[in-house]
Amino acid sequence: MSAGIDAHVHLWDRAVDPQDWIDADTMAPIARDFGPFDLSEMLDSTGLDRAVVVQSSNSLEESIRLAKLDSPAIAGLVAWVDLEAEVGPQLDQIRKNAAVPVVGVRHLAHIDPDPQWMMREEINAGLTVLEREDLCFDLVVREWQLPQATRLAARHSGLRFVLDHLGGPPEPGRDGSSWASRLRELARQPNVVAKVSGLTSGLAPGSWRAADLAAQVTFALESFGPERLLYGSDWPLAELGGGAAPWKRAVEALLDGLSTAERARVFGGNAADVYSLP
């Protein structure tokens, strides 16, 4: 059985990488710095061994700093590079004296000033470099952007795409039909996998149960299958919804019908394969 891997966490030091999106009043649990020691404690609480650290700002400097964090808890880094510029030299900067392997790239497309950023011709050369480098591209999108993600994945069929947070399904109790149809279309692209992550960061602690998220997770499982789903905590944002451990227990309960081998794939094996983790 593969060692357990959390496929989606963040680390930040606000003195050098300001996280202006964090509101100290409404996001008090995450309005502080998070480093490798905090990550190790979180992983202990969820029974997992390592995690993939994902960029949290469109900043080359942040990615360079994250790549230098020397910790056995960090399996790899999904970095940021400017895909409209020369990608190779940027990757070289991140990798120089790095302790963490770069395993993918992400751009905060869901908040980019250009709502059609994924459709820009200027990013295609950069994505081609990622394919040549055997790196993944993480998709962080809103539900309405899922059709763009589908077109992008079809255009770059040789590149592995990783959909973060199941593409932003609506909160429990709201109509999810549009999200479901769009997610199903994206799942038809064989080069796309999805992270079961980020579903509770917008929910108040104690306001949700695993059953409230069953429809979303079940649909994702039907669409992608256990061989294309990756567990991610989205920690420390998971603290906004009550913590990483309750989220992990919820996902375990929702995937209880899978075989032992299938569960091992979701909770680590798929992440190791998709991100080519050492």
pLDDT value at position 121? 97
Domain span including residue 59: 5-274
What does the pLDDT read at residue 3?
77
φ, ψ of residue 103 in degrees (nearest 5): -115, -10
pLDDT beneath 70, residues of the chain: 1-2
Q: Tell me how far CA of residue 138 lies from CA of 47, 206, 226, in angstroms.
A: 25, 30, 19
Secondary-structure breakdown of the chain: helix, strand, coil percentages, each rounded to the nearest 5: 45, 15, 40
pLDDT at 2: 52
Predicted pLDDT at 10: 98
Residue with token string 């480093």: 35
How many domains in the chain?
A: 1
Per-residue confidence (pLDDT) for residue 270, from 0 to 100: 98
pTM of the model: 0.96
Burial class for 57, CB neighbours closer than 10 Å (0-12, 13-18, 19+): middle
Look at residue 173 in the predicted model and tell me its pLDDT.
87
DSSP 3-state assignment of 109?
helix
Which residues contact residue 278 at a Cβ distance below 8 angstroms, ignoring those fewer than 6 apart?
75, 76, 101
CATH number of the domain residue 78 falls in: 3.20.20.140
Tens-place pLDDT, residues 83-122:
999 999 999 999 999 999 999 999 999 999 999 999 999 9
